Structure 1
Amino acid sequence: MVITYHGGQAFRVSFGDLTLAFNPVSKESKLKTASFGADVVLITTKHPDMNGAEQASRGDKDAFVIDGPGAYEIKDVIVKGFQTESTYDNEERLNTVYLVDLEGMTICFAGALKSPSIGPEASEEVNQVDILFVPIDGEGELGPSDAYKLAVGLEAKVVIPMGAHMTAEHIKQFLKEGGSESVKPVDKLTIKPKDVADKTGEIIVLDAQ
């Protein structure tokens, strides 16, 4: 599995011949956009910073878009979405937390979550979280301290911070919460199930590409 960060909350997750896009930035957003082909697009929050499904089209082929709670299965990927809340951009919004099972690993993508809990329904479904994507900028969503509380509560093996308004100071605070001040950003993450087997709360910071 290869994970690439495109700024904001936009990520590309590729494995084999399948590509997932999480929260691609819309053309209507003030944030920098990135266009790349994806087979499946997952959108947590209906806001231009996170709902640019059109940015993930591939030629004449439209991606399968998931933009709310429910259970989905696409090829060998199992997705479960759970409704939570956000106050992103100073407005009450619905936010979907996704649990994604693929390649023998479980991803938890928190989106614009504002509470350091994914909710009782999602918590009941979690056996383990191998990779947690979590907001840390505190702009109507989790800040560094609460983001780390969520990571600890889920016993996430690998934690990847994100945020449309994430700054170097946010990252510094988050790394301090996790006792990982020496962590340096990397361009992308290539990871397999065996790579996370013995990890506990390892924070990986990705540079936007």
Structure 2
Amino acid sequence: MDIRYLGHSSYQIKTKTGTIVCDPFTSKDPQLGLKFPRGIVADVVTISHDHADHNGVVGVEGQPFILKEPGEYEIKEINFFGIQSFHDEKEGQERGMNTIFLIEAEGISVCHLGDLGHTLTSDQVNELNEVDILMIPVGGTYTLDAKKATEVVNQIEPKIVIPMHYQDGDAQLSLANVELFYQEMGKEKKEALDKLSIKESDLVEEEPQIVLLNKRN
């Protein structure tokens, strides 16, 4: 499995049977101010919620299946589980709903939290079961900040944590730097990778390891 960072909260996941893009953003969103990379192809696109910085399907090539709603799906021998959550701490009253997606392929489970706005309930933790790789917002502003993100990591206990929704130097949106998340987690920041290439047998860490990925241009 190969994972690449496309910017903001968007990742491309390549498996042996298909390619997934999570939460592509719209290049024309003035609030975000980022350009979605060209030439991104997918078989499946997951969308956590219908805001312009997370639902830019138009930028993804390949006529992909679009998954937005909670439920169970199987596409290209990949299992998807959509879990209902909220974009805020007031059960969606401020910013609406958010769908968490758990993706299972090649014996690896990847969880993309979208714009989760709260710590998880016990039912949500049970639905997620065992997560190998967690993609989690950490920069605050409409979603989890570093402290809340650390609480969620401790709830889920993944093997690998990939931060998203933080200030990467290009976004116009006011977000916190990823360093604050490292501080809350008590981890030393390591050099970012261009992509994460991983197989099931690699997942042996007992404590969550943070993996930072360079944005694809």
Q: Fold match, TM over 0.5?
A: yes
Distance 1:179 1:124 in 2: 26
Answering whether residue 154 of structure 2 is matched by residue 147 of structure 1, we say no
Instruction: Say which SS state the counterpart of residue 170 (structure 1) adopts.
Output: coil
- Give the CA RMSD over aligned residues: 2.1
Distance 1:28 1:169 in 2: 22
Instruction: Say which SS state the counterpart of residue 186 (structure 2) adopts.
Output: coil
Answering whether residue 36 of structure 2 is matched by residue 33 of structure 1, we say yes
Moved over 4 A (4+): 164-169
Distance 2:165 2:67 in 1: 20
Which residue among 31, 43, 48 is the counterpart of 2:47? 43
Contact 1:110 1:134 in 2 (8 A): yes
Distance 1:75 1:98 in 2: 16
Q: Deviations over 1:24-45 (max 9, x none)?
A: 1124323221231100000001
Name the % identity: 31
Tell me how far 1:49 sits from its aligned partner: 0.4
Distance 2:122 2:79 in 1: 20
Contact 2:119 2:151 in 1 (8 A): yes
Distance 1:120 1:182 in 2: 30
Answering whether residue 128 of structure 2 is matched by residue 126 of structure 1, we say yes
What runs of 5+ residues in structure 2 fail to find an aligned partner?
Answer: 89-93, 170-174
Aligned residues: 204
AA partner of residue 173 (structure 1): L
Contact 1:135 1:141 in 2 (8 A): yes
Question: Which residue of structure 1 lines up, in the alignment, with residue 177 of structure 2?
Answer: 170
Q: Deviations over 1:77-99 (max 9, x none)?
A: 11111111114xxx512110111
TM-score between both structures, scaled by the size of structure 1: 0.90
AA partner of residue 197 (structure 1): V
Deviates more, 1:161-170 or 1:65-74: 161-170
Q: Assess, with a 3 A threshold, how the Cα gap between structure 1 residues 15 and 163 changes in structure 2: closer, same or farther.
A: same
Instruction: Say which SS state the counterpart of residue 140 (structure 2) adopts.
Output: coil
Report matched runs for 1:194-205 at 5 Å: 194-205=201-212
Instruction: Say which SS state the counterpart of residue 20 (structure 1) adopts.
Output: strand
AA partner of residue 113 (structure 2): A
Tell me how far 1:128 sits from its aligned partner: 0.9
